[in-house]
Amino acid sequence: MSEQLPVLKEVLVFTVEEIYPLQNDIIRILKRAVNLKAGFLESLTRRKLSSLDREFASLAARWVAITEKIVDPGKLISSDDPDLHAKMYRLLAKGELAILEQHHTRISNLMDYVEKILSTKRNEANFKVTVFVSIGAVLIAVGSLLAQAFS
């Protein structure tokens, strides 16, 4: 067990300083995306939706950096001590660092959910604009026909 302590300390620090803050930020943007009410004007400008998209892209970049550390746990060790790296890989091979995979899976699922919500909101905005343009085209066509009929 004493052999595991330095490695577990590194994993705990990584979890507390990088994984949990990212997870909290994903949940925050998820709540904002779910509660986004895009009225007609918002559908045209997409200001709020664009802001969420930019934030999501930033979270995705952070997620990629964290994923690299989970895939290669040697990268999450701040020390250059080869013995510590060897201990990390031994524990990983024994399956004793499965918590990293659990965090990876949970955050991947959250990221997928946020992407689906944002995609749905984009589609709703596109639909509203399409309906507006279609109604405008019909009104112009009717107006044109009426103008020809009375001239």
pLDDT digits (tens, 9 = 90+) for 60-109: 999 999 998 888 877 877 777 778 778 877 777 777 778 888 888 999 99
pTM of the model: 0.77
- Distance, CA of 108 to chain centre: 8
Mean pLDDT of the chain: 85
Does any domain span residue 129?
Answer: no
Does any domain span residue 133?
Answer: no
Does any domain span residue 149?
Answer: no
The total number of structural domains in the chain stands at 1
Does any domain span residue 73?
Answer: yes
Does any domain span residue 22?
Answer: yes
Residues 6 or more apart whose CB falls under 8 angstroms from that of 4 comprise 87, 91, 96
pLDDT above 90 as % of the chain: 36
Q: What pLDDT sits at residue 1?
A: 55
Mean pLDDT computed over 36-64:
84
